[in-house]
Structure 1
Amino acid sequence: MRRTQCGLGRRMMGAIGLACALTGIVQVAAVADPGQPSTLAEVRAELRRLYHDAEVATEKYNATDERLTRQRERLQKLNGQIKATEAKLADLKTKAGAAARAQYRTGGLPAEVNFVLAGNPDNALDAASRTWQAQRSTTKLITALTTTRQTARDLRDDAAVEVKRSEVSRQSLKNQRKRIEERIAEAKRTESRLSSEQRRELAALDQKEAAKAQTKWVNAGNLPHVGPEAGPAGRRAIAFATAQIGKPYVWGAEGPDAFDCSGLTSQAWLHAGVTIPRTSQEQWRRLKHVPIGRMRAGDLVIYFSDASHVGLYIGDGKIIQAPRPGRNVYVSPVASMEILGAVRPDA
């Protein structure tokens, strides 16, 4: 009996120990969230991903917004053309009605019949000439009326197409806005879980990596080969961008109180008297490419393989940029991010 009780006691203690172990595992699993980054490096990588996604969506939003603006302008122009065409059509209809009434008054007889029936041959010849001219004018009038009617129909069709395109663009803007706001909100939630100490560590980690990348870029021989100083327009663009330092990044903004990355660069060059594309992707696609080692102050540096970010090169290995939500326009090392290439707005 004693042996049985002892065996039972050992089994009970073992069961209790297993239960405690299982409880501990459950508690650890409840605390750890496999969907969340657990180390500072992972948090940093997650924030970069989220803000990069937000910036990609922002540049798409900017491109769509620019397209919608062009569509509105074209629709406005079409509506003006429709109005002018309809006025012309109304005038032609009035003239056509007058011609029809005149023909009715003359009985609609051909000129040669009127000549035969006329008592005075000279008057008849004059009448015939006038009739022929009137018939010729009527033919031109009918042709113009037909052409104008077709033009009005074509313009209305074009306007209807433009309205549909605008509706698609507006819906696209709405979807892109939602994506941007979701990414930024998710990034802010991730940042909100960090302590003050972790935030300082994260900022120090960013600075350390930026300095390391810049040193590597300089050691590769880029800085000594960078081209001449900015031209007059480039100096004006730099002066404008410098005046914006400290203003907040706001996605979709192009001043005067806030900017996103391409909003800053496009406005800087606009104030220098040069109109360039609104988005970083279009700046990369449409402006003249220059070798990194031959950049000059005022050139634009495009970042990441998808050309989703841009900064204004100011010389000495530095750029002015509007970085991301929560940050302000500031000066940073040119190589602090993955460089895709450089473009020259005033080439």
Structure 2
Amino acid sequence: MGSGKRGLLAAAVTVVCAVTVLAGAGTAFASVPPEPSVATASGSPASGSPAPAGSPAPGTTPGTTPAPAPTPDKDLEKIREQLDRLYHDAAVATDAYNAAEEKAEKQSAELDDLNARIAEGKAKLQRLKDQAGATARAQYRDGGLPPMARFLLTDDPQRFADSAATILNGERATKKLLTETARTQDELRGYADDAAARMKKLEADRAAKDAAKKKIEKRIADAELLESRLEKKEKERLAELERQAARAAQTAWLDSGVLDGVSDKASAEGKKAVAFATAQLGKPYVWGAEGPDSFDCSGLTSQAWAAAGRPIPRTSQEQWRQLPHVAVKDMRPGDLIIYFGDATHVAMYAGDGKIIHAPRPGRTVTVTGAGTMPILGVVRPHA
């Protein structure tokens, strides 16, 4: 084989290897490089054929790497949808975490109460045993004869009568002592069984809480990794697409006439709740947080209404399940708007078609349009 052919063969192998390496090194957001150019009759490159080896790509300066083409909006929209799914999954897990935490706290408090009752019951049982022991010792000091025997052996009529009353009182006291002892023992057994059941539930709630925590952290990590792969300009464009989608949704919601006739007059309690929520603007979203420095969505709403003097359930799902429902046309500031079909997000209506809410990880408590997310319904924490 001539040296020219061997050179061409070596060059071909080099190109194949390079293509193989580049194909394997791409990322989910890598841009497609421009098509290679074809050499014209005069030797200048034209679209469609590879440029001579060592020549710079069109539009670049020799010795520089060409900038990747920006990700098309349609691909960024897919990324936005994927991020929404990941953060929604994190919100579902956060509600599960908060519910498990609330149950665990309740079970723990009930368990503490049972343990206090058990300790009190044991002390009472010991007192009863001491009392029974004192009675037995008194009988021994009287010569070991039971009261009935001494009663039958007396010849003194007055003493006979006094002994009869003493025996009757003693029998009543003994019966009461035995009954109280048996009842205390039964209570202790019941408390012990209840405590064992509570402990089992507490362990289950803690396990559910740990599982939810792992799921939250996984979804958030996946979302952060997805966002980290974007270039700065792509992130800025993605944020703009999110704002455009929110504006479009809010405009469509308002244009539907849904707020026609809606009153912005709040109750005294509603004003207090809105004032609390407003004071939290700018604080970061942290899943599972309920203040004072950070909040998740239901942490914000539950603390706002606690500040207004109306404790409400901790999670958005329980807020939807337990609080009175009102029609959107009847809502007023302070009411809570529940979002998504699974009730995994909640915000406080602030009036004028706006809400205050803690959106998701990486965001802060903010004001936005009430129609920017799919509304499930509205609840009112007070009559």
TM-score normalised to the size of structure 2?
0.81
Report the counterpart of residue 243 of structure 2 in structure 1: 207
Give the distance between the partners of 2:247 and 2:337, measured in 1 at CA.
18
Which residue identity does 1:95 align to in structure 2? Q
Matching of residue 142 in structure 1 with residue 178 in structure 2: yes
Give the distance between the partners of 1:63 and 1:47, measured in 2 at CA.
24
Please state whether the residue corresponding to 1:227 is helix, strand or coil: coil
Matching of residue 31 in structure 1 with residue 62 in structure 2: no
| Distance apart, 1:107 and its partner CA | 3.9
Give the distance between the partners of 2:136 and 2:152, measured in 1 at CA.
23
1:115–1:121 contact (8 Å) kept in structure 2? no
Report the counterpart of residue 265 of structure 2 in structure 1: 229
Report the counterpart of residue 68 of structure 2 in structure 1: none
Matching of residue 305 in structure 1 with residue 333 in structure 2: no
Q: Which has the higher helix share?
A: 1
Give the distance between the partners of 2:234 and 2:249, measured in 1 at CA.
22
Matching of residue 331 in structure 1 with residue 326 in structure 2: no
Give the distance between the partners of 1:304 and 1:319, measured in 2 at CA.
15
| Distance apart, 1:102 and its partner CA | 3.2
2:264–2:352 contact (8 Å) kept in structure 1? no
- Identity fraction in percent: 48
From 75, 84, 87, the equivalent of 2:111 is 75
Change (3 A) 1:297 1:118: same
Give the distance between the partners of 2:381 and 2:264, measured in 1 at CA.
15
1:175-218: CA deviation from partner (whole Å, max 9, x where unpaired): 11111111111100000011111111111111111111111111
Matching of residue 193 in structure 1 with residue 229 in structure 2: yes
Runs ≥4 residues deviating over 6 A: 16-23
Give the distance between the partners of 1:242 and 1:32, measured in 2 at CA.
42
Question: Which ranges of structure 1 fall in alignment gaps of 5 or more residues?
Answer: none
Report the counterpart of residue 66 of structure 2 in structure 1: none
Give the distance between the partners of 1:116 and 1:236, measured in 2 at CA.
80
Give the distance between the partners of 1:89 and 1:173, measured in 2 at CA.
38
Which residue identity does 2:368 align to in structure 1? S
Which residue identity does 1:278 align to in structure 2? R
Show the 5 A alignment for 1:7-22.
Answer: none
Structure number with the bigger relative contact order (C-alpha 8 A, sep ≥ 6) is 1
From 172, 195, 206, the equivalent of 1:159 is 195
Please state whether the residue corresponding to 1:249 is helix, strand or coil: coil
2:95–2:316 contact (8 Å) kept in structure 1? yes
Aligned residues: 336
| Distance apart, 1:164 and its partner CA | 2.1
Which residue identity does 1:346 align to in structure 2? H
Give the distance between the partners of 1:149 and 1:108, measured in 2 at CA.
29
Which residue identity does 1:301 align to in structure 2? I
Matching of residue 267 in structure 1 with residue 303 in structure 2: yes
| Distance apart, 1:235 and its partner CA | 0.3
Report the counterpart of residue 286 of structure 1 in structure 2: 322
Give the distance between the partners of 2:273 and 2:24, measured in 1 at CA.
55
Report the counterpart of residue 287 of structure 2 in structure 1: 251
TM-score normalised to the size of structure 1?
0.89
Question: Which ranges of structure 2 fall in alignment gaps of 5 or more residues?
Answer: 30-70
Matching of residue 239 in structure 1 with residue 255 in structure 2: no
| RMSD between superposed Cα atoms in Å | 2.5
Please state whether the residue corresponding to 1:68 is helix, strand or coil: helix
Matching of residue 123 in structure 1 with residue 159 in structure 2: yes
Please state whether the residue corresponding to 1:224 is helix, strand or coil: coil
Give the distance between the partners of 1:204 and 1:19, measured in 2 at CA.
43
Report the counterpart of residue 91 of structure 1 in structure 2: 127
